Amino acid sequence: MTSNELRREFVNLLAEKTRDNPAFIHLDMLGLAKLESSNDKRLREFEKIITDTVRSGGNICIPSYSLSYTRNEEYNMLLTPCVNVGAVSEYIRENNVRKRTVDALFSYIIPGNKISGKHFEAGDYESFGGSSVIEEVFNLDGYVCAIGGVFKNSTEIHFIEKLLEVNYRHNKNFTGQITDLNGYKSDQQVTYFCKKFDYNLWYDFKELENDLRDDGLMETIKVDGFPLFITAVRFRLLYDYIEQKIRKDIKYFIKDLKDKRDIRKIES
């Protein structure tokens, strides 16, 4: 096959996978390393792959988190840059500004048409609760995916923790001002299922990723010969798996900061 044929086959495969089961895709530049010869070319090519996937009926959700209200900043759906999700997400945001969701903390760029339009309309929002984008993708049994070694950034896992009512996180409200896609300003409250400050803990999703791989539950979306692949797990399967782990050990995801310091002392 030619490179164009391989690319077309990959796009068709991704579109087929996500036609009825939307995918959250976390990624970094390293995951695109073999796609093109420079970062500029990699960004342009990946954005074209996403665009072509959507045109073929696929549904992709790219993180465009801003954490605006936790930083005492206004959230402008068109202009506020991404925070802590990397250059690829920011490039996708800049080229799809009208496809960004309303959540002032954990927004997504969603260029497809499977996800409800309510997520683009200004109003109060619960990032990991009922009527959120994450809940909708969960109900559609979508995917949680990674390109590159960033499965550890799968923020959607906090939605599962909320369903399981873990005791080290709780709902906290953040308020601020939002400018919507039409340029109108309004007040907004966003509810974030965040870590309790009295829990001196740090997160580690690497063990989860390793366990999923060991148990054969991670799927790889790829076309032989095409220099891009996606690691994926179905959201509902992920819920069932995490539920079993957390029922056995409530601290499956977390470690005490004291333990982390002790590890550093041993390593040094």
Q: How many domains does the chain have?
A: 1
**Which range marks the domain in which residue 235 is found?**
3-267
Element (H, E) at 62: strand 60-63
pLDDT-derived band at 258, boundaries 50, 70, 90: low
Q: What is the mean pLDDT of residues 104-122?
A: 96
DSSP state at residue 59:
-
pLDDT tens, residue by residue, 151-178: 999 999 999 999 999 999 999 999 999 9
CB distance 56 to 176 below 8 Å:
no
Amino acid type, 207: E
The predicted structure's pLDDT at residue 257: 62
Predicted TM-score of the model (pTM): 0.93
Q: How far apart are CA 95 and CA 33, in angstroms?
A: 20
Question: Is the pLDDT assigned to residue 265 strictly greater than 50?
Answer: no
Q: How far apart are CA 178 and CA 74, in angstroms?
A: 6
pLDDT-derived band at 206, boundaries 50, 70, 90: confident
Q: How many other C-beta atoms lie within 10 A of the C-beta of residue 100?
A: 26
The predicted structure's pLDDT at residue 199: 58
Q: What is the mean pLDDT of residues 101-120?
A: 96
